[in-house]
Amino acid sequence: MVTYLLLITSLLTNCRKDNTLSQTTKTPANISQPTVPNSFVWNSMHDYYLWVDQVPNLSAAKFSITDSLNAFLNQYTDPSKLFTDLLYQFGTIDKWSFIVNDSTTISNWIAGISMTAGYDYELFEVGTTNNLFGVVRYVLKGSPADLAGIRRGDVFISVNGQQLTIANYQTLLNSSATLTLSFANIINRVITPNGRSVTVTAITLQENPILLDTVLVVNGANVGYLVYNGFNSDFDQQLNNVFKYFKDQGISKLILDLRYNGGGSIQTAIYLASMIYGTYTTKDFIKSQYNNALQAYYVQTYGAAALLDNFTDNIAATSTTPQTPINTVNMTKVYVITTDNTASASELTINGLKPYLSLTQVGDTTVGKYVGSVTLQDVDAKGNVNPQDPWTMQPIIVKVSNSLGVTDYIKGLFPDILVSEDITNLLPFGNPNETMLKAVLNDIQGLPQKSAAIKYGLIGARKVADSKDFKPYSKDMYAKRKFPLRLH
């Protein structure tokens, strides 16, 4: 069976890849051919992986004899173990590449589809008690949690009648689709059960990343406010409609709230930046950098412009929607709210806009992810999955910079105005007294800033986890490239 690499979300065309190992000099004599999945993993990583030159076991020179490469690959009975062993300092440098044996896992992740009751939360420990409490950060409209009356700022302390602890929280919160949460109040920084319990059942749900869009009147001027929780291309048209509303309202400034946005589609980031700044198709928004061989192939085949993504004036046509003109508000002043959950495509958007407009970052330091991945799957010319190879990979292949070459912000992007959420008083989004929004409004009005909120609002509170930790790949960024990713 001839195989191909299908970049599920990343390419406009399939790119062919022979299943045989092409970086060899003689036919194997004594050592058996490796399994199809192992060949697929090694060939793909050798051609496309961003850090290929830092991984000795991806060197074609090391395996110039077919038998030696076959011997290496035949050590592995689990393709996922081979994949992990080929990553560059996995967990420290490369924290994001992954492989699964069910492509639905990746397609659902990209579409924002999961089994969920529809509430996002953080978990905290007070002191060294080992007891935890959860704070609801937002609730999806129409979800089971929304219909059950769960709201932003609600505090829960037990699940199915058991107190949340360091030892049991992962088991309790993932024990079944139906959970009963017991709630508490925080009064004078003391957590007190309030007798309220709610039972919710998770369903298969696609999260709409546009949590809130509204216009605030500040000093007599209209200011757009958008709470945006993920760069999901399924909602590009709806996002464009939000900016038509902002444009019709004549906003003079924009507040972009990315505090819980872990990233997603690079293409959607380009659309959003164009909606904010302008449809200047000759101005560079981001520059891409690949491994040496892939970059040389791109430049030789398509020219140096292949490494550039400019602002754009249209949302590309899809199988369900026609090409649509971008609605732009041509902002010169933007505020972006960030936290330690703000990552990848969110950071790309901030970094890419900075050379072109006045951007004030308000909140906490971001995650620090400046690299992106693509989806690789072993399929034939008609898109049929090779029955010998169910594995699908999402390796890091590209790092991005802005038009000035700024990249490698491994420690994150630092705020201009430091302020943290006060979990003892999480007001609804759009409330002018909500801690982080108020900091923005104070700056717009020229008012003095109060001291940054006590971290997490409770003396001795320590963040342990949040619901996105239970959603694999929630801080990843994926590319939709203009050209096939093929070298030969």
89-108 confidence digits (pLDDT tens): 998 999 999 999 988 888 88
Whether 353 has a pLDDT exceeding 70, the answer reads yes
**Token reading at 271:** 């659309």
Whether 174 has a pLDDT exceeding 80, the answer reads yes
Specify the 3-state DSSP secondary structure of 106.
helix
113-206 with 210-450: one CATH topology? no
**Token reading at 280:** 């200047």
CB atoms within 10 A of CB 245: 15
Whether 20 has a pLDDT exceeding 60, the answer reads no
Query: Per-residue confidence at 409, pLDDT binned at 50, 70, 90?
Result: very high
Beta strand 203-206 pairing with 314-315: unpaired
Q: Which residues pair with 362 in a beta bridge?
A: 337, 417
Q: Place domain 210-450 in its CATH homologous superfamily.
A: 2-enoyl-CoA Hydratase; Chain A, domain 1 (3.90.226.10)
Buried b (16+ CB within 10 A) or exposed e, 364-376: bbbbbbbbbbbbb
CB 337 within 8 A of CB 256: yes
Q: How far is CA 378 from CA 24, 109, 375, 388, in A?
A: 21, 19, 10, 9
CATH T-level assignment (fold) for domain 113-206: Pdz3 Domain (2.30.42)
pLDDT value at position 472?
A: 61
**Domain-wise residue ranges, the chain:** 4-109, 113-206, 210-450
pLDDT value at position 13?
A: 28
Query: Per-residue confidence at 30, pLDDT binned at 50, 70, 90?
Result: low
pLDDT value at position 452?
A: 53
* Contacts (Cβ under 8 Å, ≥6 apart) of 284: 308, 309, 310, 403
Helix or strand holding residue 83 (H, E)? helix 79-85
Beta strand 314-315 pairing with 324-325: antiparallel
Which of these, 78, 79, 60, lies nearest to 22 by C-alpha position?
60
**Token reading at 136:** 């609801």
